[in-house]
Amino acid sequence: RSSDLTAEEEGSQLLTLHHEGFFWRCWFDGKSGNGANIMSKFWFTNQSPSKNCTHAYLSPFPMNRGGNSTAAYESAIIYRGFWTVFMLLGVIAILFGGFFIICAAPFSSHRLYKAGGCLFITAGIFFSLVVVMYVIWVQAMSNLDEYKKVRREACAYFSVYVRYGWSFILAAVGIFFSLFAGMLFLLAGRTIQMHTE
């Protein structure tokens, strides 16, 4: 470092911010300042222009494990495949459920309301599985202890902090509303059936 650094630059340290989503894995280089809330800057402002991203399913672990033929790598790919399939099935169930509800409204069809409600509940279950599988992935299967050990060989002060972002928090809220809407549409279908018979 040169001697003409400002006080803010002297108090900062280089960071690599790693974001792992369901489909993409991205990392950014940044600096932390004195007392700065680096996570709010990472989420909202000042994202680094040096953004590197790769498909998450191509690299299922946070570190390179050498060859891609290991049993752990294959099982990780399968695990990621399951949560991807569950997410897509949830999205399809929500779309069809919404379509059934829209078609049920003009005709007061209790069968379409019930079918839409069941699809909303099914989507909520699929999304719940996705979130639980992701938490298990981040906390247990990604082998963060081994990753820290390897990275500490190059940097003794290396540390990893796992935080869940806004999209993860909103996923839990969406699951609640999907299940709640499904139950309401089932109740609406039951009510329409009782009044038409």
Bridge partners (DSSP) of residue 53 are 26
Contact 134, 76 (CB under 8 A): no
Sign of CA dihedral 125, 131, 133, 136: negative
User: Which DSSP string corresponds to the chain?
Assistant: --TT--HHHHT-EEEEEEEE-SSEEEEEEEEE-TT--HHHHHHTS---S--EEEEGGG--SSS--S-S-SHHHHHHHHHHHHHHHHHHHHHHHHHHHHHHHHHHHHHT-HHHHHHHHHHHHHHHHHHHHHHHHHHHIIIIIT-HHHHHHHHHHH-TT--------HHHHHHHHHHHHHHHHHHHHHHHHHHHHHHH-
> Which pLDDT does position 22 carry in this prediction?
66
What is the tens place of the pLDDT at every residue in 110-155? 889 999 999 999 999 999 999 898 888 777 766 667 777 777 888 7
The backbone torsions φ and ψ at residue 102, rounded to the nearest 5 degrees and listed phi first, read -65, -40
pTM for the full predicted model:
0.72
Q: Tokens 């990392």 — which residue? A: 27
Distance from chain centroid for Cα 90:
14
> Which pLDDT does position 4 carry in this prediction?
40
> Which pLDDT does position 1 carry in this prediction?
35
Cα distance between residue 10 and residue 177, in whole Å: 47
> Amino acid identity of 144?
L
Mean pLDDT by 10 residues, the chain (197 residues): 41 68 71 59 61 68 52 71 88 94 83 93 95 80 71 77 78 94 93 86
> Which pLDDT does position 117 carry in this prediction?
94
Contact 117, 191 (CB under 8 A): no
